[in-house]
Structure 1
Amino acid sequence: MKPFDLLLSTAYAPPISYFAKLYEYQGKAVGLEAQEHYLKQSYRNRCRILSPNGVQALTIPVEQSLSLKTKIRDVRISEHGSWRHLHAQALRTAYGASPFFEYYADELLPFYERRYSFLWDFNEEFLRVLIRQLQLEVNWSATEEFADPAEECPETCDLRYVIHPKKRHSVAGLMRPPYYQLYQDRFGFVEELSILDLLFEMGPESLLILRDSLTPSRG
C-alpha cells in the first residue's frame, strides 16, 4: 500500500473532526479509502446538521445490492424519493439566517440539482469544494488497494472507522472548541456537526476553529 500519513473514509459533508485532521495533515499524504466495502449507518452517506428542531441527519439513499460486499466506489445513489430537494431545503431552513449562508450556498446548493450515479463521485466533488472554500492545502488521493496500516505502515493515522456517528468523541488528540450556532439558545452548543454548520456560521474564521481543535502539543 502507498504510505499515507492519514487515512480517511469517503464521507458526505463530513463532521468537524474530519476537517480538523485534514487541517493538521496539510502538506502530507492523505488517503481516502476507495477499496473498502460499503459500511451502513456511517458518515459515508450521511451528515448531521442543526435545524430549528434540533440535530437532523441528512442521508443520501443508496441502492441495496444483492451482495453485502459492494465496494464503496461501486455504491450507486438511489433515485427513490426526493432526497436532493429535501436536503437542499433542510439546509436553507437550518442555515438561511446564518451569517455566511449566502456566501457559500451559491456554490454548494447546485450539487443538489445535479444527478450523480455513484456516491463516491458525489462525495469526492463535494469534498473538493469544501476544501477549497476552507482554503486548506490538502494532498489527497484514493487508495489503490485495501490494507491494514497497523501491519504495513504503523505510523499511519487511520481514522477510516473511527470517525463515525456513534463514536463522536473517539478521535484522540482533538479539542472541541465552541463557536457561534444559530440555535444555541435552544439546544446549547452541539459538537461534531457537519462542516457545513461551521462554514455557514463562522465563514473564514472556520480555520481558527479547526486550528483550535488540535491540542497545543500537536497544533
Structure 2
Amino acid sequence: MIENGAVLPMFYLPPVDYFTKLNAFKPDVVFEKEEHFPKQTYRNRAVIYSPDGRQTLTVPIIKGSKNHTITRDVKISYDFRWQRLHWMSLQTCYRRSAYFEYYEDDFAPFYQKQPVFLFDYNQELLQLLLRLLKIKAELKFTDTYEAAYPNLTDLRKAFSAKNTVNAEQKAYFQVFEERRGFLENLSIVDLLFNQGPQAVNYL
C-alpha cells in the first residue's frame, strides 16, 4: 500500500487546486472508485469563467434506485443535449483565450461520443489533461471503500463545489477579468486555455 501519498476523488474537468495537490503528491496518488456517489460535487460538474462570472457545467446522471450508487456505477444521462451545451459554453467562454484553438481538437471528441459511465468519462478526460499539462502520473484506483486511510492524505472531501474555498492562488490572465476580476479555482481548462504550456509551471 502507498504511504505518504493521497487519495483523490475523480472529477469532471477538476478545479485548479485539485491539480496543484495531484502534482504535489504524485506519483503516490490513488483515485477513489468505490465510494457512494455524493451529490452536488465536482464529480459531475465544473466551473468556468463566462462573461457573467462563474458558470457551472453539470453532467446529468441517471437517477439511481433508492440505494446509494457506487461511484464507478453511476451512469450519464443523455435525455437532453448537455454535451452540445457544454461545448458551446466552452467555445463562447474561451474562444478569445490564447490557447483554446491549440487544444480544441483534443476536447471536441468528448462532446460527441457518449460513454455509459461517468467515472470512465472523467478518467479519460483526466488522462488527456495530465498529458496536456505534461504531468506524469500513473492512474491507480481503490479496490474497496475505506472510511479512512491512516497512511494517506484523504482529499475525497477537500474540494467543495458549493463553497468557493480561498485557495490563495496567484492571478493569471483570464479572458473576462476586466469585468469581474480574477476568479480563483475555476476548472483546470480555464488555466490551460489561458496559459497553455505554461500551465504546469503555475501549478
**Same fold judged by TM-score > 0.5?**
yes
Aligned to 1:9: 9
Q: How far apart, CA to CA, are the structure 2 residues paired with 1:168 and 1:146?
A: 27
Deviation at 1:138, TM superposition (A): 1.2
Q: 1:25 touches 1:138 (CA, 8 Å); kept in 2?
A: no
Residue identity opposite 2:165 in structure 1: H
Q: 2:192 touches 2:199 (CA, 8 Å); kept in 1?
A: yes
Deviation at 1:157, TM superposition (A): 1.1
Residue identity opposite 2:12 in structure 1: Y
Report whether the alignment pairs 1:166 with 2:165. Answer: no
Report whether the alignment pairs 1:195 with 2:194. Answer: no
Deviation at 1:200, TM superposition (A): 0.2
Residue identity opposite 1:159 in structure 2: L
Instruction: Tell me the TM-score normalised to structure 2 length.
Output: 0.95
Deviation at 1:167, TM superposition (A): 4.0
Deviation at 1:45, TM superposition (A): 0.2
**Secondary structure of the equivalent of 2:43?**
coil
Aligned to 1:89: 88
Q: 2:40 touches 2:162 (CA, 8 Å); kept in 1?
A: no
**Secondary structure of the equivalent of 1:139?**
coil
Q: 2:7 touches 2:153 (CA, 8 Å); kept in 1?
A: yes
Deviation at 1:10, TM superposition (A): 0.9
**Secondary structure of the equivalent of 1:108?**
helix
Aligned to 1:217: none
RMSD: 1.3
Aligned to 1:206: 199
Count of equivalent residues:
202
Q: How far apart, CA to CA, are the structure 1 residues paired with 2:163 and 2:24?
A: 20
Give identity over the alignment, percent. 39
Residue identity opposite 1:50 in structure 2: Y
**Secondary structure of the equivalent of 2:139?**
strand
Q: 2:10 touches 2:122 (CA, 8 Å); kept in 1?
A: yes
The CA deviation string for residues 10-63 of structure 1, in whole angstroms up to 9 with x for no partner, is 10000001000111122x321110000111100000000001121100000000
Instruction: Note the 1:18-167 alignment, pairs <5 A.
Output: 18-26=18-26, 28-149=27-148, 153-167=149-163
Instruction: Tell me the TM-score normalised to structure 1 length.
Output: 0.88
Q: 2:42 touches 2:160 (CA, 8 Å); kept in 1?
A: yes
Unaligned runs of 5+ in 1: 211-219
